[in-house]
Structure 1
């Protein structure tokens, strides 16, 4: 999260720098003295942040290499997986592999972490919004109302009226997410096949798709509550326009705008991509900070086919919170449905929950004809 915050800060500084540059180029003039000072200051800040980011990334890479290094104290994940798929109880006992209350094999924490990390990086939504991996139910406060400032006369004989913020305690529970697939017996038998990478890729893909869909569309019944449930900041329109986009942008506080991203369906993105502003310039601009993708009003755009075609979200990371349990379990199926085809069926399950945490950090545009 620290690295992510620094990258966001760096990108925000770059946006400020680009605004100064674009203004000068558009007006075909030289930098003013104030602009030049600010421009050079921003360049230095960006350079300093780039150095910090490089250092942190190097540290993370070293930590990951250390995590991947296998010694006598680290479980050989491929060995464990082959024992699980072969239901070799003797081997599993030797590896201290346990089962959960559904009878699934709880995989080593190293493998669980890899699957969760892979699922997170596959989804821009999961990666962007607040995410924790804490066992059991997670409780945190949600502010319903803040303090109120009032004007008071100096040396007033009356005591100032105090206002008390209203807090609600939100609890994230444990909903079971279950993903089923199969592998061949040949893959189990062949020691040359990296079973670990295959399982990580397979499971994380399924989990990422389901979790992202729940973030935007979850009903709250046996699954997380989607981000659209109970939103207080909504803009309804019949057609998307620059005016509507600006209205949504300025619905969030200035301090939030610099942290927020746009989330929309591919079809909505294509609509915006064909639009221009009042001066005939494309509404979407290349995201120079990221190198790929586009920006809308200086903020990055993320596309997800899980979002309703007519809906756009402009949200900060703290708008939504997901909590993933640390443990992932594998269930093995060797009934005739699979064995006739030379397959071993398996399913992975993980427990998680999610909910909108800060209503003030998200605005929703809905375009309905």
Structure 2
């Protein structure tokens, strides 16, 4: 271990020497130092791999030390890219800083910010609001990155439908090309036969953003709770409300209004997309669910999506319908299994419970390939005071959109006539 510490000390000294040479504009000498550094780092890795003292025989110790050496060798340390000679360390986002979290939490409680806190708070939110076109209805306060990450994590844990969707975080509008099929045949040709034209047909999925807003109400008395209690409470409540809306949208969202329709824009849900198809080829109706209904639904999935299919249903449908199904030999189709991220398996495919799906309906879906979603604007929050009622409302706001990219990645079993 002494040898390792000695090499690490040499590396630090050489890095310092290299930076000084760069400042003095002695670039040729700096290049020589860089070469010496590479040799030292390789020596460090070799020493770690072949160390003989008792403590180092621990596999955990060797793994940790080797990881450190690899980080040094690749120019990374503690998950951050290490600056090269004369370069600056990457600047940490202010919205992810502890200073902003503390200032945001105090503002959440209605406490007065000191001068330093106000400076951090205003800087983050001025930049945030400048990045988007806001109105008086949607101007909000950016939630600290750590709190927002906690909200998204809880949403994903509580709602498998949203968790399994391929989600991007791109500001502004986003478009995907949807393949609608082609007119080509499977025929082969001889020399005398002219090749038939193949006409590829495409549609487009435009994710322009839909406003998502949910409110958490607290009495003034409750708002006076300690910051360490208030922040997790608001985070949990917003995650619950926003998660319900997002999961609903993935399955049942109505999409954008057209013609004389007047409803508010929502992401396009899978059920809405399948129901809009002529003759609804991806929807299988049943009266009393049987083995044949499941195989018929599986047959509707395009073969390129079949291996990634998951079954989704609400808790009642999973345990009172799917769990009691048997095949033609009387053997149970449902196998309880929590190791795959769901509650069981059917046909080797995972079964997951999601309350957003109507009772009696079963969704077969390859969400990763068949559905796209984009968070155009991350979660912000508006505080709305009600003095007469002595309460405050925390209104969570985000801009999200989503839609089906290929209907053949889905099938729905429904007991609706």
TM-score, with length taken from structure 1: 0.72
Residue deviations 1:81-129, cap 9 Å, x none? 2124427475444332425533322233443343233322321000112
Secondary structure, aligned partner of 1:334:
strand
Paired residues of 2:315 and 2:353 also in contact (CA < 8 A): yes
Q: How many residues align?
A: 302
Structure 1 CA distance for aligned equivalents of residues 341 and 352 of structure 2: 14
Per the alignment, residue 13 of structure 1 pairs with none
Per the alignment, residue 243 of structure 1 pairs with 292
Per the alignment, residue 323 of structure 1 pairs with 374
CA spacing shift, 1:103–1:87, aligned 2, 3 Å: farther
Paired residues of 1:112 and 1:326 also in contact (CA < 8 A): no
Structure 2 CA distance for aligned equivalents of residues 247 and 111 of structure 1: 44
CA spacing shift, 1:87–1:243, aligned 2, 3 Å: same
Per the alignment, residue 43 of structure 1 pairs with none
CA spacing shift, 1:73–1:201, aligned 2, 3 Å: closer
Per the alignment, residue 173 of structure 2 pairs with 137
Per the alignment, residue 94 of structure 1 pairs with 120
**Which is further off, 309-318 or 73-82?**
73-82
Residue deviations 1:65-89, cap 9 Å, x none? xxxx999982431332212442747
Paired residues of 1:135 and 1:326 also in contact (CA < 8 A): yes
Per the alignment, residue 4 of structure 1 pairs with none
Per the alignment, residue 354 of structure 1 pairs with 402
Q: 1:223 aligns with which of 250, 258, 266?
A: 266
Residue deviations 1:185-239, cap 9 Å, x none? 5666555624433332221111101111121221224211221123141222222
**Which has more radius of gyration?**
2
CA spacing shift, 1:85–1:263, aligned 2, 3 Å: same
Structure 1 runs not aligned, ≥5 long: 1-54
Structure 1 runs, 4 residues or longer, greater than 4 Å off: 69-73, 87-90, 184-192
**Cα drift, residue 304 of structure 1:** 2.2
Paired residues of 2:269 and 2:403 also in contact (CA < 8 A): yes
CA spacing shift, 1:344–1:288, aligned 2, 3 Å: closer
Structure 2 runs not aligned, ≥5 long: 1-66, 72-77, 81-91, 256-263, 275-280
Map 1:55-134 to 2 at 5 A. 74-76=97-99, 77-86=101-110, 88=112, 91-95=117-121, 96-98=123-125, 99=129, 100-101=134-135, 102-134=138-170
Structure 2 CA distance for aligned equivalents of residues 159 and 174 of structure 1: 47
Paired residues of 1:239 and 1:368 also in contact (CA < 8 A): no
Per the alignment, residue 327 of structure 2 pairs with 277
Map 1:146-185 to 2 at 5 A. 146=182, 148-154=184-190, 156-183=191-218, 185=220
**Cα drift, residue 164 of structure 1:** 2.7
**Cα drift, residue 292 of structure 1:** 6.0
Of structures 1 and 2, the one with the larger relative CO (CA 8 A, separation 6+) is: 1
**Cα drift, residue 320 of structure 1:** 1.9
**Cα drift, residue 180 of structure 1:** 0.7
Structure 1 CA distance for aligned equivalents of residues 197 and 234 of structure 2: 57
CA spacing shift, 1:107–1:249, aligned 2, 3 Å: same
Structure 1 CA distance for aligned equivalents of residues 388 and 326 of structure 2: 56
Q: 1:198 aligns with which of 193, 210, 233?
A: 233
